[in-house]
Amino acid sequence: MPHSMFCLILVFFFLSTSLAQENIFSKNRFKNIIIFGDSYTDTGNVYKLTRRAWPLSPPYHRGRYCNGPNWVDQLRGSSVKNYAYGSATTDSNFVQGYTIGNVPVPGIRQQVQNYMKGWNSRFVSRPDTLHIVWIGGNDFIFNHSALPNLVVPSLMNSINDLVAKDAKNILVVDQVPAQYIPAGLALAPPAELAYLTAMYNTLLNASLHSIQQQYPQTSIHIFSINALVTKVVTTHSDYFTNTTTNCWNVQNYTIVKNCENPNNFVFLDNIHFSNHVHTLIADPVQKFLLPSYAVNSASCYIRQA
């Protein structure tokens, strides 16, 4: 086959694949995605707040707490507005979160309030708008006496704020399995962390189910990041050569690299996931955006409240 003909076929193949993917994503159920969260989700808000001081980029990727695009960056076919800040808690009035230089960041409730006061709030009650809420364990990090029976109600205030404004679609991410997070293991025994995580998720599930029953006009779903990360860590798949320790150490806001390829690790640093894990997180969320989500693999991790 002549070289020119081969090149034309190759170009046609890539164009066809690209157009097919674009056509699939153009059928998303949700045109607008509004996101609230912490460093697992932040796509540069703390980086801007600290005038590019943190997260240190490079080696972190463009202000993400990741070595590449995070799960939000990898979503396709919808307009995304991201209010997430690294170090955020459920509510700054409950527990204040801080980033480098002791700079306070808005908690989830403050992020929701900023959204409600802004131009994007016109999307809140539209059926093609999805609100995603993912908060990790910062309440427990900044206040060691905080317990799930206080943290979950604090988070639910933000969910109630969205429901009160007639939000039609809400996706809430549950708590990561703290018993596997390197930073968590430095604070408490694995059994204690597993117990607290299970308590948190049980309370979260019950609270969301209660709101779903009370407000049937709002569709509330739960994304079990707990199940996903547990599977990744415990199955020892071919994706990762290390599922227990972190590739980078953060010491006095400097990065010490302990490995050559972070994507062989589940944990990039002592809290955050590698880019490869973020791709695994983005996959079920992307499928949830499609009309056929109920019959695809997203339903393994995402369910009705």
Architecture per CATH, domain 28-224, reads as 3-Layer(aba) Sandwich (3.40)
pLDDT confidence of residue 8: 45
pLDDT tens-place string over residues 90-143: 999 999 999 999 999 999 999 999 999 998 899 999 999 999 999 989 999 999
Averaged pLDDT, 181-193: 94
Averaged pLDDT, 75-103: 98
- Residue 295 confidence class, pLDDT cut points 50, 70, 90: low
At residue 55, does pLDDT exceed 80? Answer: yes
- Residue 253 confidence class, pLDDT cut points 50, 70, 90: confident
Contact 13, 66 (CB under 8 A): no
**Cβ count near 296 (within 10 Å):** 13
Spatial distance between the Cα atoms of 41 and 146, rounded to a whole number of angstroms: 22
Sign of CA dihedral 61, 64, 68, 69: negative
37 vs 4, which has greater pLDDT? 37
Closest among 262, 261, 260, 264 to 240, alpha carbons compared: 264
pLDDT confidence of residue 17: 41
pLDDT confidence of residue 251: 86
Backbone angles phi, psi at 225, to 5 degrees: -65, -25
147 vs 13, which has greater pLDDT? 147
Averaged pLDDT, 182-203: 96
Averaged pLDDT, 265-284: 97
The conformation of residue 60, written as its DSSP 8-state character, comes to S
At residue 24, does pLDDT exceed 90? Answer: no
At residue 268, does pLDDT exceed 90? Answer: yes
pLDDT confidence of residue 169: 98
**Cβ count near 300 (within 10 Å):** 13
Question: pTM of the predicted model, to two decimals?
Answer: 0.90
Q: Could you state, in order of their start, the residue ranges of all structural domains in the chain?
A: 28-224
